[in-house]
Amino acid sequence: MATESDGEEEGKLIGNGNQSLTVAEELREMAKNAAWSVSSCKTGNGVQFLRDDNLDTFWQSDGAQPHLVNIQFQKKVKLQLVVLYVDFKLDESYTPSKISVRAGDGFHNLKEIKCVELVKPVGWIYISLSGTDPR
């Protein structure tokens, strides 16, 4: 999930450790307006499972690291929040330990705008790109 906002401050990582997603009503879901791709995937665990609203399905990378999820918008958008569900208990070695959010005008000029470290995460992880917790 990605949400749009005008905020520009740096924020911090927040995880709520459960299966219910809580996001402020005034935020607008933007990820449906993007083209999604991944650097690699195992058969039966492709990019389509990243956004299928089913916590029992998932994308599973297969190949050299780093494993990448690319989200491209047709026009510039200001994102306030990135939310993802992870479960170390189920995924173990496939659970990300570091997430880098990068932005730019094209694939070859991306700059890191946020980096978070995850330690055995379980539940929804909220990565604020605006410096405020929009929940």
**Does an H or E element contain 91, and which?**
helix 88-91
Contact at 8 Å (CB) between 24 and 133? Answer: no
- pLDDT tens for each residue of 25-40: 888 889 899 999 999 9
Is 96 within the bounds of a domain?
yes
Q: How many angstroms separate the first and last alpha carbons of the chain?
A: 14
One-letter identity of residue 8: E
Would the CA dihedral through 129, 66, 38, 73 be positive or negative? positive
Torsion angle defined by CA atoms of residues 16, 102, 55 and 41, in that order, rounded to the nearest 10 degrees? -150
Ranges of residues in the chain whose predicted pLDDT is under 70? 1-18, 131-135
Domain count, the chain: 1
In a 3-state reduction of DSSP, which class is residue 19?
coil
- pLDDT tens for each residue of 1-34: 444 333 333 333 434 455 778 777 888 889 899 9
Report the predicted TM-score, pTM, of the whole model to 2 decimal places: 0.76
Q: Which domain holds residue 58?
A: 2-128
**Does an H or E element contain 89, and which?**
helix 88-91
Is 134 within the bounds of a domain?
no
Is 135 within the bounds of a domain?
no
CATH code: domain of residue 73: 2.60.120.260
Q: What is the pLDDT of residue 18?
A: 57
Q: What is the pLDDT of residue 11?
A: 35
Bridge partners, residue 84, by sequence: 125
